[in-house]
Structure 1
């Protein structure tokens, strides 16, 4: 359920903002256009001010800050203790809870967002999580995720081999260890959860997922 990565993220918390700013050479392409990606999530969410938004995997609070600036009532969930501490230093009034995609505070939401986190779930867990989120979502609500995904298995394998060839051992190990999905898998999972989803590439690694309830069903 992603909690197996908590120790890694506790260690990464203090330097995470530097990494997303491009200071970790192996992850520059993963975090390319990071600020634009966060802004794109907020812009795509496009809900009235005051809407209730759940953010899963708050990290150090970079997306959260933008959501609050946009006028949303934000509830945050983050499994890593050190990441929560970093986020609360920036946003001391944030409603922030320990938890993860399958362990959420009670409540229904107009929107659900997440960046660079959904890949911590196995594919069956992704399916369960989206089904749970769809149940908590209002009829006109939407789920906006930005995360590393691959067009297909061949692209995923090629990207791992490329990282190894370029001597990026940490990135290659990451791509092998974590549960990065392919687009066919994500499309199948969203459909099964009763969601209508669109996927848009934002850089070589990251795709934007915009999902809404399929009210036609």
Structure 2
């Protein structure tokens, strides 16, 4: 797992690295643009939505939301990522913090229409995901949604198939989403598959 120093070092080349994987339709970023587009379109159904982005990175998706009238909040543990995102979104409220320890203090009092996480929450263990998701759901306005775009699978068998095909490219430090297992804790969860290794997970308050 990359620590915050690792992400600081990777920040300037992150978008390029993602783009190469996406263009090749290869793990882990196959379907990346479709994932971000799907989340963007969902949020655009609510004008001027208040959005919290967990692990926003360089702000690829968040910047589009910001440019289209959303009130943007964010948390990332890389100071360099925050600096790059701030250049694109000078009026966004962006805070540094390790989300494996929960929300940053500055974000705990707010309520949001959407809370999103794209290719970030796979750094949490399955147990930590459940507790953190419950914390996030409590921060949503009535009818709000938690939207997660990430490496994700309908079943454990599909994950194992992808692991076998990826061979030495597979990242054993990342813990991916399996809908069949997530539904046990969140019965109203839905999943829209966007590629053989990615999709959008939605949990409505």
Shorter chain as denominator, the TM-score bin is 0.7 to 0.9
State how far apart, in whole Å, the 2-side matches of 1:51 and 1:154 are. Answer: 37
- Name the CA distance, whole Å, in 2 between partners of 1:16 and 1:33: 16
Task: After superposition, give the CA deviation of every residue in 1:116-161 in whole Å (9 maximum; x if it has no partner).
Answer: 0111111111111111111111111111111111232222222222
Cα separation, 2, equivalents of 1:55 and 1:200: 19
Cα distance between partner residues in 1 of 2:81 and 2:145: 26
Shift of 1:103: 2.2
Tell me the equivalent position of 2:185.
189
* Map 1:136-155 → 2, pairs under 5 A: 136-155=139-158
Any stretches of 5+ residues in structure 2 without a counterpart?
none
1:34 is displaced (CA, Å) by: 2.6
- Structure 1 residues without counterparts, runs of 5 or longer: none
Match of 2:88 in 1: 90
Work out whether 1:210 is the aligned partner of 2:195.
no
Question: Which residue of 2 is the match for residue 30 of structure 1?
Answer: 28
Pairing 1:65-80 to 2, within 5 Å after superposition: 65-80=63-78
Q: Is the contact between residue 13 and residue 83 of structure 1 (CA under 8 Å) also seen in structure 2?
A: yes
8 Å CA contact retained: 2:25, 2:31: no
Structure 1 residue 177 corresponds to structure 2 residue 173: yes
**TM-score, normalised with respect to structure 1:** 0.83
Corresponding pairs, count: 200
For 1:178 and 1:185, the matched residues in 2 are separated by 16
Write the distance in 2 (CA, Å) between the matches of 1:50 and 1:183: 30
In structure 2, relative to structure 1, the CA distance for the partners of 1:118 and 1:52 (3 Å cut) is same
| Cα deviation, residue 6, structure 1 | 2.3
**TM-score of the superposition, structure 2-length normalised?**
0.87
Report Cα offsets for 1:144-180 as digits up to 9, x if no partner.
111111232222222222222xxxx3x22x1x22111
Q: Aligned partners of 2:178 and 2:34: how far apart in 1?
A: 23
Aligned residue for 1:10, secondary structure, equals: helix
Residue 177 of structure 1 aligns to a residue whose secondary structure is: coil
Counting helix residues as a fraction of each chain, which structure ranks higher?
Answer: 1
SS of 1:190's partner is coil
Provide the residue aligned with 1:119 in structure 2: 122
